[in-house]
A = this chain, B = another copy of it.
Amino acid sequence: MAIKGVLLDIAGVLYDGDTVVPGAIEGMQALRAAGLPLRLVTNTTRQPKRMLLDQLRRLGFEVAEGELFTATEALVAYLVRERLRPLLLVHANLDEEFAALDRERPNAVVVGDAAERFTYPRLNAAFRLLVDGAPLLAIATNRYFGEADGLSLDAGPFVAALEYAAAAQAILFGKPAPAFFQAVLNDLGASPAEAWMIGDDVEADVNGALVLGLRATLVRTGKFRTGDVERISEGGSCVADLSEAVQALLKVSNGA
């Protein structure tokens, strides 16, 4: 089966903080040179799309706006479609993505990686809405992400807290939600078997893609931890970094 598209996670795969992963820029260029369409797919909820594009370009990655898919925009589209008024538990950087929405008398709870904004009063206000029947909408349910000084809590633990408190089930919008992957595949015009996902999150990126029938490779950069290798579902692979993932992918693609 030919490869018709490649999905790349961003943080931890292309860069770590403000440092480009060695070989990542060249890896992306090699994929483009081979004529393979790319899509960058991210659960990052600490940056709006505009800021993400800026950072990518500043670091030397050539990316078109249409190539970037964020979990946040998938959730915002849902809020608009369902005419929901969100109570936001999101990072301050993300406020601009929700600026056009009515937030008076909220009737939905949105959880992203709110970091310091995860305070008890805010979580309690969200809980009380859920008890009254408001839906719980999760941009992402990642457990943690890598920071300069160690691992830090991502949105997932706080989604789990609210689910437990209100005996509710969150609707997930980012990876590994099948709808998120499917939207990217539709845009690529590729079937799952024709697409390849590369990421540093064994659950959201790799196993999420494998469940849908994509090929998937875990890289040992970003938040990768040794124990992750044993958690890869059947069919997934693990390599050093994006550069090595691209080489493996191009070998399969050329052989097809």
Q: Which residues of A contact B (CB under 8 A)?
A: 114-121, 123-124, 127-128, 131, 143-144, 150-154, 156-158, 160-167
Q: Is the CB of A164 within 8 A of B151?
A: no
Given contacts A117-B120, A123-B157, A160-B165, 19 further A-B contacts (CB under 8 A): A115-B120, A116-B120, A116-B121, A120-B153, A124-B153, A127-B151, A127-B152, A127-B153, A128-B150, A143-B167, A144-B165, A156-B165, A157-B164, A157-B165, A160-B160, A160-B161, A160-B163, A160-B164, A161-B161
Nearest B residue to A131, CB-CB: B151
Minimum CB–CB distance from A234 to chain B (whole Å) comes to 20
For A118, A150, A157, A167, which residue has the most chain B Cβ atoms within 10 angstroms? A157
Q: Is the CB of B161 within 8 A of A157?
A: yes
Copies in the complex: 2
Bound Cα distance A143, B158 (Å)? 14
**8 pairs, A vs B, C-beta closer than 8 Å:** A114-B120, A116-B121, A123-B157, A127-B151, A127-B153, A156-B165, A157-B164, A160-B165
Minimum CB–CB distance from A83 to chain B (whole Å) comes to 26
Bound Cα distance A117, B165 (Å)? 18
- Across the interface, which residues of B come within 8 angstroms of A152, CB to CB? 124, 127
Bound Cα distance A165, B152 (Å)? 9
Q: Is the CB of B119 within 8 A of A153?
A: no
Bound Cα distance A230, B161 (Å)? 23
The 10 A-B residue pairs with the shortest CB-CB distance in the complex, in nearest-first order: A157-B161, A160-B164, A161-B161, A157-B165, A116-B120, A118-B120, A157-B164, A160-B160, A143-B165, A124-B153
Nearest B residue to A154, CB-CB: B165
Nearest B residue to A127, CB-CB: B153
Nearest B residue to A160, CB-CB: B164
- Across the interface, which residues of B come within 8 angstroms of A118, CB to CB? 119-120, 123
Bound Cα distance A166, B152 (Å)? 11
